[in-house]
Structure 1
Amino acid sequence: MNIKPSKDRKAIRLQFTVEGASFSFAPLKGGKWENKRDRQLVAAIATKIENDILAGHFDPSLEKYRHKSSSAEIPLVAKTQKVKWLDIWDKWVLSLGLPTATASDHYACVRAMLAKAKNPLLDDIEWLQSSELAASTFNRRLSMLRSCFSWAVEEGFVKPVDNPLKKIRSRIATEDERQQSASKKAPLSDAEIEKILDYVDRVYITYAPFVRFLLFSGVRTGEAVGLTWDNVNLEKRLIFIRQSVSRERGKYQKICKSPKTKESIRTLKMSDRVFALFSSLIAENACGLIFKSPKGQIIDHGNFRSQCWKPVLLALGIPYRKPYATRHTLLSQALESGLSVPQVAQIAGHRDGKMILQHYGHVINQPQLPEF
Structure 2
Amino acid sequence: MTQLSASCKWSKKSGLIDGNPFQGMASEIKLEKPNGEEEEETNPFTREERDRIIAAFKANRYYERYAPLVEFLFFTGCRPSEALALQWKHIGRQVITFQRVLIYDGRKLVTQDRLKRQNLRKFSINAQLAEIIAAIKPENRNPESLVFPSRESRLN
Give the corresponding residue for 1:132.
Answer: none
Highest RCO, 1 vs 2 (Cα 8 Å, sep ≥ 6): 2
| Gap change, CA 1:255 and 1:266, over 3 Å in 2 | closer
Q: 5+ residue gaps in structure 2? A: 32-41
Aligned counterpart for 1:230 among listed residues 51, 75, 89: 89
Aligned counterpart for 1:242 among listed residues 95, 99, 109: 99
Q: CA deviation at 1:284?
A: 1.9
TM-score under structure 1 normalisation? 0.32
The yes-or-no answer on 1:207 pairing with 2:34 is no
- SS of the aligned residue for 1:207 comes to helix
Q: CA deviation at 1:193?
A: 0.8
Q: CA RMSD in A?
A: 3.2
- SS of the aligned residue for 1:240 comes to strand
Q: For the residues of structure 1 that align with 2:97 and 2:152, how far apart are their CA atoms?
A: 26
Give the corresponding residue for 2:17.
Answer: 119
After TM superposition, which residue ranges in structure 1, 4 or more long, deviate above 3 angstroms? 109-112, 294-298
The amino acid of 1:190's aligned partner reads R
The yes-or-no answer on 1:268 pairing with 2:123 is yes
| Gap change, CA 1:243 and 1:142, over 3 Å in 2 | closer
The yes-or-no answer on 1:256 pairing with 2:112 is yes
Q: Is the 8 A contact 2:85 2:111 kept in 1?
A: no
Number of residue pairs matched by the alignment: 135
Structure with greater helix percent: 1
Q: Is the 8 A contact 2:58 2:67 kept in 1?
A: yes
Give the corresponding residue for 1:189.
Answer: 46
| Gap change, CA 1:225 and 1:121, over 3 Å in 2 | closer
Q: Is the 8 A contact 1:239 1:268 kept in 2?
A: yes
The amino acid of 2:123's aligned partner reads L
Kindly report which structure 2 residues correspond to 1:283-294, keeping only aligned pairs within 5 A, or say none.
Answer: 283-287=138-142, 288-294=145-151
The amino acid of 1:272's aligned partner reads A
The yes-or-no answer on 1:281 pairing with 2:139 is no
| Gap change, CA 1:224 and 1:186, over 3 Å in 2 | same
Q: Is the 8 A contact 1:244 1:258 kept in 2?
A: yes
The yes-or-no answer on 1:144 pairing with 2:1 is no
CA deviations on 1:141-195 (whole Å, 9 max, x unpaired) are 7971695xxxxxxxxxxxxxxxxxxxxxx9xxxxxxxxxxxxxx76112222111
Give the corresponding residue for 2:38.
Answer: none
| Gap change, CA 1:145 and 1:271, over 3 Å in 2 | closer
Q: CA deviation at 1:258?
A: 1.1
Higher alpha-carbon Rg:
1
| Gap change, CA 1:146 and 1:282, over 3 Å in 2 | closer
Q: CA deviation at 1:121?
A: 7.0
Q: Is the 8 A contact 1:210 1:291 kept in 2?
A: yes
The amino acid of 2:146's aligned partner reads L
Q: Percent identity?
A: 22
| Gap change, CA 1:207 and 1:120, over 3 Å in 2 | same
Q: CA deviation at 1:255?
A: 3.4
- SS of the aligned residue for 1:233 comes to coil
Q: For the residues of structure 1 that align with 2:26 and 2:73, how far apart are their CA atoms?
A: 35
Give the corresponding residue for 2:36.
Answer: none
Kindly report which structure 2 residues correspond to 1:268-347, keeping only aligned pairs within 5 A, or say none.
Answer: 268-287=123-142, 288-298=145-155
CA deviations on 1:45-80 (whole Å, 9 max, x unpaired) are xxxxxxxxxxxxxxxxxxxxxxxxxxxxxxxxxxxx
